[in-house]
Amino acid sequence: MTGKGVVRSIKNYAKGFSDVQRKVREATSNDPWGPSGTLMNEIAQLTFNQHDFIEIMDMIDKRLNDKGKNWRHVFKALLLLDYCLHVGSENVVLYAKENIYVIKTLKEFQHVDDNGRDVGANVRQKAKDITNLLTDDARLKDERRQRQQMRDRMAGVNDYMNDAMGIRPGDRPVDPSSGSRGPSNDGGQGRLGDSEDRELQRALEESRRMAETEERKRLEKQGDEDLAKAIRLSEQEAQEKERKQKEKLERENQDKLFSATNNNNNAQSTRYIYIIEY
């Protein structure tokens, strides 16, 4: 267990969190890795129990309202909520729709880490995805149905393989790579958990890719703005230089005109004096 994990365990004990709340806190921790598919599946199944559902959604709501350096709390809470929307109780869907304003607010989430990275982009993108999902009933129902069918198919394949190999309920399904079997600690969800872990990794990679794309666009936009600013400054400098040259030319013309006028006046005065003396 990591140092953060130890601290979290102490807080769980000191604050009297229930087992269900501890699971949600673990799935939405500040650790730099995502929650396992097995853990999220376990939490999603707990939402079918009304008491557990209330505790789960209350803890998710607390995580969604975190800010700043705890951005991972927010991002992982959105990941967990998205997972539960697909495979959890229908109550999760109803709760999320009633509190959609909380998710919409996160579309404006901002946080830049110590290295200057806009890590808030992960939160903003996931909030947009969930908002779009919640506002499209047909799509949400279809995705929930597809996910359930996938789970049923995977469970059916596992049951068939177990029957064919003579594996009793509670035994670990055969691992083709090892050819061994043993007691199961995950209630037959190992293979499903692995699939969900891969799905989570893909989701995290996609979020990271989208964040990098957004950051690149931001830098490109900043570069365009800097170029435009440089062009404006160059134009202003050229205009200022032209104005000064024009003023200088006008002064020189005025000086020449003034000098010519003085010369004419002096010539006339000299001629007048000459006539008188003559």
Domain ranges of the chain: 3-230
Tens digit of each residue's pLDDT (9 = 90 or more) over 99-130: 999 999 999 999 998 888 999 999 999 999 99
CB 55 within 8 A of CB 18: yes
User: How far apart, in whole angstroms, are the C-alpha atoms of residue 209 and residue 34?
Assistant: 15
Q: Average pLDDT for residues 143-148, to the nearest whole number?
A: 90
Tens digit of each residue's pLDDT (9 = 90 or more) over 74-106: 999 999 999 999 999 999 999 999 999 999 999
Tens digit of each residue's pLDDT (9 = 90 or more) over 233-270: 767 777 888 888 888 888 888 877 777 666 666 656 55
DSSP state, residue 66? -
CA atoms within 13 A of residue 34's CA, in its CB half-sphere: 24
Note if the pTM is more than 0.75: no
CB 12 within 8 A of CB 23: no
Q: Average pLDDT for residues 20-35, to the nearest whole number?
A: 92
Mean per-residue pLDDT over the chain, rounded: 76
pLDDT at residue 171 above 70? Answer: no
Share of the chain above pLDDT 90, in %: 40
Tens digit of each residue's pLDDT (9 = 90 or more) over 200-235: 666 666 666 666 666 666 656 665 666 666 667 767
**Other CB atoms within 10 A of residue 45 CB:** 16
pLDDT at residue 185 above 50? Answer: no
Note the pLDDT of residue 172.
Answer: 43
Correct CATH for 3-230 of 3.40.50.170, 3.30.110.30, 3.40.50.720, 1.25.40.90 = 1.25.40.90
